[in-house]
Structure 1
Amino acid sequence: LYSLLSDVGQLQLSDTDAVMERVKTYIEQHYREELSIRVLAGEAGTSERHFIRLFKQKYGISAIEYLTEYRIRQARSLMLPHTNYELKDIAAYVGYKDIPYFRRKFKQITGVAPATFMRNAKLKIVAYHGSLIGALLTLNIIPCAAPADHPWTEYYRRKYEPGAVLPLAQDDDTRIQQLALLHPDIILGLEQSLSPDIQQQLQELAPTYLVSWLRMDWRTQLRFIGKCLNKAKETAAWLDKYERKAEAVRADLDHELAKDKFLIARISGQKITVLSDRSLGEVLYDD
């Protein structure tokens, strides 16, 4: 019995990744409550000073910073077009009793004031090509229309309710007819995938911004889209968080992995799909 308990104790001490994951999950489940370092360190079963160091080492940000970011993320999901909540109710729901403090934290994380974010969220934005959906979701924008063949996974169906997204037909003529009835505010498309004639028809429906797939890497594309949608500050704030997270992951990886060869695949149901687009390469290999 002594040996068994000793082994368990050593495992708990050495398996800090699992402990930090448990604390992160605890934050996500209790983010509406008043959480302190003392509470979170108690959940981890370690001292406050040790917990602060371990969490920052694991995720690249402090536990309180993660709590703030998670609260603001939940607040943004309550500001989308299909919702109709008042700002004070949103702030209270995600754990902020002080409205001015909530406004400051929201702008600190997203780059814009809550009122500006809510106003921009009401715009009807079309993702004419499926590969642009990721950039919109990054900016917390759910497109009002997107290609019907986009592979919305179960994760996205739970998180973003894509059932409210108008599924666009495969051929351009039918898509133009669908969008004419939709009256969108903005259309995003891929420059190399649209003929000059289709580009002209889209411009007649709504301001149309074309992203270059050949001349831009994913960061440049995201900044371009953010500028077009008047979300340059939100884009810069998101990229800053991304860079910090990527740096933390790089530091945590075993450098011996660089000597191996990888094949990235998605397993869904009975299908195995090899993923080979450029963005994945830039993120998973370069970053």
Structure 2
Amino acid sequence: MSTALAGKPIAAFWPEDWPALGLAQSEPVDPCAERGLYFSTYVGTHRVLHLDGEGRFTLFLWRTDRNGLPEARRQSRHEGAARIVRFGDGDRRLDLDLENAPPAVRWDAALYLVGTGCDSLLLRKRSMHDLAVSIGWNSTLGESERYFSRYRDLKAVPDYRHVGRQAPPLADLPKSIRGLVLRDPIVGRIMQVFDPPGADDPDTTAPVMVVIDKGRKDGVRHNMPFAAPAGAERHLIGWCSAPEARSCAVRVKVNRRADGTPTGLPQVGDIVTSRAPSAPPLA
């Protein structure tokens, strides 16, 4: 988050709307997860969702420039009916009536409720596969645009990271997301390495394409990260670009010395896994 935005009163962005919601500048967080304020921010895009607990919602969206100042032409407000759907497996989903909103806003039309009180979250249904990949990789929720966090202080914008918030324990996640998380990481072996770069390669950011045998038929998704396990000779990290039945293509990042010479390039036989080497066991 921009330091110019963190700590500023939300009311400064919406002076005509905020008092109309009947919100005090500071009040205890309601223990009911179905009522109150939720916030999401990611790379200059900010969203605040207000649930009134009586079946209505108000969703505010705005963008800020690189200095953290709001862009007046890039603000919008949406309101309508909010409905809680409870499933037999215990999942709770918040459905917002955003049928007439722009396509990008409709991504927030279905949100899974997780937790209660200060620690409650709203997880985007449209992002459930990406959430599962992030949780399987390093037990975080990944990019913060995928979820809303509960307000702890109504006076100011919460200051939290764009990437890396710790995920709730698996047992606390909605079953529909929990079932997508790989409890047993994929352990693959590199079978092919294509066109490794040389010292005079003009594109110093291009990855090395490799194909791994993942040893199983399922589980790999597009952009799933892979890395060499802890203690490996080469510190490899890459992202899946083409999942297949028993193999997948992975774009491996190239490390270079100060003189531009590639170092630690992947080799046939290297092992990579879908669990970050520094991540604790899934719990």
Q: Relative to total residues, which structure has the larger strand share, 1 or 2?
A: 2
Same fold (TM over 0.5): no
**What TM-score range do you get, normalising by the shorter chain?**
under 0.3
